[in-house]
Structure 1
Amino acid sequence: MILKRKILMILLAFTVNVYAQDNNRYQINIEDPSNQLDAKTASNLRTAFNEQYPTFARLDGYRTKRNVTLQIANSETESIKAKAGEIKVNSAWVKGKSLDKMNKELWNALASNWSSFSKDKRKGYSLTFVSKDPNLDPVLRQKLIDTYFEVYPTLVKTFNDKSPKDVLFVVDTAYKAVAEASGNRILFSAGYMKAHPTDIDVVTHEGMHVVQGYGYGSGPVWLTEGIADYVRYKYGVDNVGSKWSLPAFKETQSYKNSYRITARFFVWLEQNVKPGLIATLDQQLRAHQYTEQSWVNLTGKSLDQLWDDYAKNPNQVQLKYSDKTSK
């Protein structure tokens, strides 16, 4: 109980921001056919929902239900029981309770759905970590946290000093891809991380997406993902340990393949055409100033011409991968 109250205090400021932005996106339907709730109690329950559930949904991760049903269930709970999409209350407990007590009890009930929760701060940066996987290896969890604090501040200082300094990690058992970033939240697949526990530089790739913050319509997806993998190559903390590398060139490849294929092309460009090119393109994308003409303006050649040059001599590149075992 003490831990859950501490969690509530930690998230208070975050709750206010989310409530202001998202409360209209979540709806509650109170089912009380026997009229066991008086008007004031029902109103306080709605207010507590609007103040707590959007924060829970934001931290909860993957497709948290937006429409929620609140039921009177005196036989199932002594106070409040809650999960995504469903809240159950004991009418005797809730009667006469203050809004503050409802808020605390509702948050405690919602947070009990997570296997673990923590918030760490180091040198002006913070990381909120929510795991919905009871089997998440604590060693892996700590490695993900340490990787964030090791690499993310460098990405912020190098590419975008206006990036969020408070980032959220969610490890979700329902999410089946690898990882994705949205705003300041990075969502990890519990299944993928269990199968690939050494791939800690997923944090570097997705952390760069947070730093990119391009918004919609800034540029092609292949460019966004290519930059993120280029950054993983250059700033990753243990690519050797995860057996991650940039693939050798093949004639069937294209710069539009994204990810590692595009990233290797970018390394070649940085070493043979124009140092600092990728950082400049990153700036243009964030400012929504990128066009295909950007390549000509910055290098004197079109993108297709640059790829042709790369295809003629793809091995004119020196690759060096980060390796924690050698440090």
Structure 2
Amino acid sequence: MIKQITNLAFFVMLSVAAVAQTSPQASNGQNQQRRRNQPRPFALTVNDIAKTKVDTAKLNAAFKNVYPGFAVADGYRTKHEVTMRIIDTTKDFTLKAGPGEIVANSKWLKKKQNLQNFQQSLQDALHKNWVSVDTIKKDGYQLVFINKNEKFDPTIQKNLIDTYFEVYPKLVNMFNDKSTHEVVFITDTTYNGVAETLGNRILFATKYMNKHPYDVDIVTHEGMHIVQGYGYGSGPVWLTEGIADFIRYKYGVDNVGSKWYLPAFKDKKEGYKDSYRVTARFFEWIDQKVKPGMIVQIDKELRNHTYTADTWAALSGKSLDELWAAYSTSPDLHLVYSSKNI
């Protein structure tokens, strides 16, 4: 059932720390560095073409209360610098708003009541940029699904929603019971990667999802990023992504259906910093052959900001390089993949 959201204030609570899965395999160092940068501030420039002399302080206050949350929820490249044009027109027009631009009718805006209610009007206008919003609640968890793509397959949307309620509560209970119980899914038409996590918002590239409709365990990977909640500076990106794919292997609901697997070890040119599935397989080897539960402990150390390069030796008696050398010598594993058809 579709429920229209009239208050976007909860989007402002979204974190500003992004962790992205930019390709099915891995991302380069430049992308990783960019994701760690602090976001640009939001700014509104009012162009009063009609010379209404409206109170711009009120306009800016409404903008700051509404637009940042919209931008975070809206997607990957939503503009931070916004121009508001106040125009004089005889057309039956009040307010239009979208990424980077707000246009208001001067005659409408000059009315005291409309100026007082500008924040609500701006929220409603921004909301029209989305096709639909579903709000689903179940067993103490909530998912808000914002769809921006008219051609997005509703079956894929349902499967992503079902996967969230099947997997995410388990991850919260097992790894971080302080994680949020309210998550936002966004479909994005311009993002060329796979998916991106920002605070409690997961953005899905519809180009990818329409081509890979069975890859529902992106929800498991990205949901683990929310649960990780490490914050800046707690550990390297390759480690964060490796743990997320390790958890996908362990707790994904249909890795067989998505044809997702941990690639066999190739040669010594690989390294544990290759991230994603390569690192995840190494972590599964540690879990099977060295110390069960060690990767879960690494996850805790990262969240508590107590992780260092010496943590590996403290937990296993071997440095990370020594563990990788042992893995390279004998990388064989028994792997079992989840499937909805079993």
Deviations 1:260-316 (CA, angstroms, capped at 9, x unpaired): 11111111111111111011000111112112211111111122222222222221x
For 1:201 and 1:15, how far apart are their aligned partners in 2?
Answer: 24
How far apart are the structure 1 equivalents of 2:127 and 2:76?
15
Q: Aligned residues: percent identity?
A: 53
Tell me what 1:117 maps to: 133
Query: Following TM superposition, by how much is the alpha carbon of 1:204 offset from its aligned partner in structure 2, in angstroms?
Result: 0.6
Report if the CA contact (8 A) 2:216-2:258 is conserved: yes
Query: Are the equivalent residues in 1 in contact too, given 2:243–2:295 (CA < 8 A)?
Result: yes
The Cα shift of 1:249 comes to: 1.4
1:68 match: 82
Equivalent position of 2:283 in the other structure = 266
- Give the whole-Å Cα distance in 1 for the aligned partners of 2:193 and 2:91: 35
Aligned length: 314
Counterpart of 1:91 (choices 106, 110, 117) is 106
Counterpart of 1:87, as a letter, is: I
d(CA) in 1 for partners of 2:287, 2:257: 25
Q: CA deviation at 1:120?
A: 1.4
**In structure 2, which of residues 160, 171, 175 is the aligned counterpart of residue 155 of structure 1?**
171
CA deviations 1:223-268 (Å, max 9, x no partner) are 1111111000000010000000111111132212111111111111
Moved more, 132-141 or 71-80: 71-80
- Deviation string, structure 1 residues 45-65 (Cα, Å, up to 9, x no partner): 333322221221121112211
Corresponding residue of 1:21? none
Could you tell which deviates more after superposition, 128-137 or 239-248? 128-137
Q: 1:47 aligns with which of 37, 61, 73?
A: 61
Counterpart amino acid of 1:191? K
TM-score, scaled to structure 2: 0.85
Alignment gaps of 5+ in structure 1? 19-23
Q: Measured at CA, do residues 144 and 228 of structure 1 come closer, stay the same or move farther in structure 2, by a change above 3 Å? A: same
Question: Aligned runs of 1:90-239 on 2, under 5 Å?
Answer: 90-94=105-109, 95-99=111-115, 101-239=117-255
> Which structure shows the bigger proportion of residues in helix conformation?
1
In 1: Cα distance, 2:69 partner to 2:251 partner: 32
Q: Find the aligned partners of 2:125 and 2:77 in 1 and give their Cα distance.
A: 19
Q: SS of the residue aligned with 1:7?
A: coil
- Output the CA distance in 1 between the equivalents of 2:52 and 2:262: 64
1:312 corresponds to = 329
**Separation in 2, partners of 1:180, 1:169:** 10
Aligned residue for 2:6?
8
Residue 100 of structure 1 deviates from its aligned partner by 5.5
Once residues 189 and 114 of structure 1 are traced to their aligned partners in structure 2, the CA distance between those partners, rounded to angstroms, is 15
Q: What secondary structure does 2:44 align onto?
A: strand
Task: Write out the 4+ residue segments of structure 1 that deviate beyond 6 Å after TM superposition.
Answer: none
* Structure 2: unaligned runs, 5 residues or longer: 15-39
Contact between 1:69 and 1:87, CA under 8 Å: does it hold in 2? yes
Shift of the 192–72 alpha-carbon distance from structure 1 to 2, 3 Å rule, reads same
1:247 aligns with 2:269: no
Q: Distance in 1 between matches of 2:168 and 2:227?
A: 9
